[in-house]
Amino acid sequence: MSSIVLAASGIDYTYPGGVQALQGLDLTIEKGRKLAILGPNGSGKTTLLLHLNGTLRPSSGQILINSRPLSYDRDSLTAWRRRVGLVLQDPDDQLFSANVYQDVSFGPLNLGLSEAETRVRVNAALTALRIDKLADRATHMLSLGQKKRVAIAGILAMQPELLILDEPTAGLDPQGAVHLLGVLQKLHEAGTTLVFSTHDVDLAYTWADQVAIFVKGRVLKQGDAATVFADQELLRAARLKTPLILDIAQVLYGGWHACAADGPPRSRAALLRLLQESIDRSGRDGEPESIRVRR
């Protein structure tokens, strides 16, 4: 399929010292999708992401970019990282410069862009993340959420086709998370393919098109969010909870298979709408008791 931009095929990776982090992992990333890699902490998600931008090299198996195996010489890696941007979980690992503007300008300059072009890109990236006002602030005086946005702006200024984020919402307060997701949604709508790791089932369910369930170095299943989360067996095996929205929909309809033609609700808003409809319906029937949800 031509729409697969990046794929991992049967990759194994063992850390020096013998800890096996990945074992026979398969993953495909389709163009223009939002893919969540969902798994518990410490299961090797970061290791996987580091493979996707060529920082780590699998001991066996292959990373395929546009269906061609990647080579690990300097030039190929440079070309690869030009297309695939990776944002690390801890922004302090990525921000090296004293002020925000300088830091964001680093990536575009490395691409060999001119000073004028770089300035355009830096300003665009700062605007996209709504941090223009931070441009001449000191990196070390920013909050975690601001640092995260600066780190993302630094990658965004390189205009990658594929943006990989390691736990983008970790450590953010709810408002910061909502803000960040809003920005990412805009990027997605502008055509960027997004891949992010998370241990948050609700985030993966409401926000991703596709979910890969990642346990102990393997992807147990990858598919549409609705399909993956329908598989109770799988969730149990991965020790994951069902997303709260699905849980409620299930109670409401006695199994969400029965819900509606367009499938179970995917967002908080959709769920609330369904709840309201259900309450309204029972109101019309003149049976106040029937507001009681069916079991």
Partner 1 sequence: MLAIDRWAWTNRWRRYHPAEKGLLAGGMLLLAVALPAPTTGPVIIAVMFLATVAGAGIPALTWLRVMALPGAFLITSIPFLVLSLDFSSGLSVALSPQGWEPALHVVLRSLAAVSCLTFLTLTTPAIDLVPLLRRLGVPRPVVEMMLLIYRLVFVFLERAASARQAQIARQGYAGFRNSLRSLGLLVTNLFQRSLERAQRMETGLAARGFQGELRVLTPQWTLSQFRLIIIISLLLGVAATGLALDAAAL
Catalog residues that contact partner 1 under the rule CB under 8 A.
Answer: 50, 53, 55, 77-78, 81-82, 85-88, 90, 92-99, 101-103, 105-107, 109-111, 115, 118-119, 122, 135-141, 154-155, 158
84-87, strands of its sheet edge to edge: 84-87, 162-166, 193-198, 34-38, 210-215, 218-224
Please, what is the minimum distance in Å from the beta carbon of residue 248 to partner 1? 39
Nearer to partner 1, 90 or 200 (CB): 90
Residue 238: left if φ>0, alpha if ψ -120 to 50, beta else—which one?
A: alpha
Please, what is the minimum distance in Å from the beta carbon of residue 99 to partner 1? 7
Please, what is the minimum distance in Å from the beta carbon of residue 235 to partner 1? 32
Nearer to partner 1, 111 or 234 (CB): 111
Nearer to partner 1, 9 or 97 (CB): 97
Q: What is the largest CA-CA distance in the chain?
A: 72
Cα dihedral sign, 284-285-289-294: negative
* Distance of alpha carbon 75 from alpha carbon 15, whole angstroms: 25
Q: Which amino acid is at 228?
A: V
Please, what is the minimum distance in Å from the beta carbon of residue 96 to partner 1? 5
Please, what is the minimum distance in Å from the beta carbon of residue 50 to partner 1? 7
**Cβ proximity of 89 and 46 under 8 Å:** yes
Nearer to partner 1, 147 or 266 (CB): 147
Nearer to partner 1, 67 or 127 (CB): 127
- For the record, the structure tokens of 93 come out as 């690992």
